[in-house]
C-alpha cells in the first residue's frame, strides 16, 4: 500500500519531462543531521583550544568579539553554539556572509567541547529538550502560523525577509528547531519560555516533522510553495502538451 503510493507519487515525475519545474519548485533535501539527545558534556578546555584555532580570528582570543567582524560570545550560551556548529553555519569563511546550513566542520565530540567552552563564558539559553512525540499536530500548525510562517512559509519551505534568505525547515532536527526558537540566530527573533512554552515547542517540532512529507492527497506536491510551480505546470506541461496536440491535429497547411 505504502509502496504503491510512493510509486504513484513518482509517476508524474516520470511522465513529466519538465525536470526544471521540479528543480525550481522543490527544495533540495540535504542529509539529516543526527538528532543528538543528551550527551556526555564536552571539555571546556579542549573547546578553548579548538576555539583559538578556528573561531578566534573573528570572535577574538577572549571571545569578546571583534567590531565589524563578529559579536561577543559571552552570554551567547550553549544552545547558540550548538545550533551554529552542528548545522555547519559556523565557522563562517567571510564574516559578512549570511550563515548557511551545511555539513558541520567539527565532529560531534569537538562540537561538544566547543559548546562546553562557550557555555562556560556566561549564562545564555541552555540547549532545550524537544520531544515532538509529545506535541499536538494542530497546536503546532497554529503556533507555527502565528509566530513562524511569516518568514519560514506555512509549510516550512523557507522564504525571504527582504534582505536575508530564510532557510527551509525540512532537515532541521527537533533539537535544532528548539535551539533556533530560543536563541534567535542571525536575524531571527528569539522566543523565550514564556512566549513559546515547552509543550508548544514540542508541537511545533512535531508539525515540522510532519511537513517534510505532508499528506499529498492530490498527487505530486510540486514543492508545496503554491501557485508558482502550478503556473509552470500550466504553461510548460499542460499548455505545451495541448499545443503539441493541436500541431498534430490541425497540421494540414499548404507549404
- Interface with another protein (CB under 8 A), residue total 92
Examine residue 166 and tell whether it contacts another protein (CB under 8 A).
yes
Task: Compute the distance between CA of residue 134 and CA of residue 32 in angstroms, rounded to an integer.
Answer: 21
Q: At a CB cut-off of 8 Å and minimum separation 6, what does 80 contact?
A: 73, 118, 124, 125, 179, 183, 185
Contact between 246 and another protein (CB under 8 A)? yes
CB 39 within 8 A of CB 82: no
Residue placing its CB nearer to another protein in the complex, 109 or 243: 243
Q: x/- contact string, 185-214, with another protein (CB under 8 A)?
A: xxxxxxxx-xx-----------x--x---x
Between 78 and 141, whose beta carbon lies closer to another protein? 141
- Position 164 contacts another protein (CB under 8 A): yes
Residue 152 sits in the site that holds another protein (CB under 8 A): yes
| Among positions 87, 153, 173, 176, the unique one binding another protein when judged by CB under 8 A | 153
- Helix axis angle for 137-147 and 198-210, nearest 10°, is 100
User: Would the CA dihedral through 96, 101, 106, 111 be positive or negative?
Assistant: positive
Residue 184 Cα to chain centre, angstroms:
13
Q: Is 168 left (phi over 0), alpha (psi -120 to 50) or beta?
A: beta
Footprint (CB under 8 A) of another protein, residues 45-104? 65, 67-71, 95-96, 98
Q: Which is nearer to another protein, 21 or 114 (CB)?
A: 21
Residue closer to another protein, measured from CB, 37 or 96 = 96
Nearest CA to 33 out of 72, 83, 71, 80 is that of 83
Kindly state the cell numbers that stand for 182. Answer: 530560543
Task: Report if residue 251 touches another protein, rule: CB under 8 A.
Answer: yes
Residue 157 as a binder of another protein (CB under 8 A): the answer is: yes
List 36, 151, 171, 199, residue binding another protein (CB under 8 A) = 151
What cell does 26 get?
522543490
The residue among 38 and 253 lying less far from another protein, judged by its C-beta, is 253
Per CB under 8 A, 247 contacts another protein: yes
Amino acid at each position: 500500500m505504502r509502496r504503491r503510493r510512493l510509486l504513484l507519487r513518482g509517476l508524474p515525475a516520470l511522465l513529466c519531462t519538465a525536470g526544471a519545474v521540479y528543480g525550481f519548485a522543490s527544495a533540495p533535501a540535504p542529509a539529516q543531521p543526527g538528532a543528538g539527545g543528551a550527551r556526555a558534556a564536552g571539555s571546556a578546555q579542549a573547546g578553548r583550544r579548538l576555539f583559538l584555532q578556528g573561531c578566534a580570528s573573528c570572535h577574538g582570543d577572549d571571545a569578546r568579539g571583534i567590531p565589524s567582524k563578529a559579536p561577543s560570545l559571552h552570554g551567547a550560551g550553549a544552545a547558540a553554539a550548538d545550533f551554529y556548529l552542528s548545522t555547519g553555519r559556523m565557522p563562517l569563511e567571510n564574516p559578512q556572509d549570511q550563515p548557511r546550513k551545511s555539513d558541520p566542520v567539527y565532529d560531534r565530540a569537538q562540537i561538544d567541547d566547543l559548546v562546553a567552552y562557550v557555555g562556560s563564558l556566561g549564562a545564555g539559553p541552555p540547549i532545550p529538550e524537544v520531544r515532538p512525540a509529545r506535541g499536538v499536530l494542530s497546536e503546532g500548525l497554529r503556533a507555527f502560523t502565528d509566530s513562524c510562517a511569516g518568514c519560514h512559509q506555512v509549510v516550512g519551505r523557507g522564504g525571504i525577509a527582504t534582505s536575508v534568505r530564510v532557510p527551509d525547515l525540512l532537515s532541521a532536527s527537533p533539537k535544532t528547531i528548539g535551539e533556533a526558537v530560543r536563541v534567535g540566530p542571525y536575524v531571527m527573533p528569539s522566543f523565550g519560555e514564556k512566549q513559546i512554552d515547552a509543550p508548544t515547542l514540542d508541537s511545533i517540532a512535531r508539525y515540522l516533522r510532519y511537513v517534510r512529507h505532508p499528506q499529498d492527497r492530490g498527487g505530486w506536491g510540486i514543492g508545496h510553495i503554491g501557485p508558482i510551480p502550478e503556473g509552470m505546470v500550466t504553461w510548460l506541461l499542460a499548455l505545451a502538451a495541448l499545443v503539441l496536440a493541436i500541431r498534430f491535429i490541425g497540421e494540414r497547411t499548404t507549404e
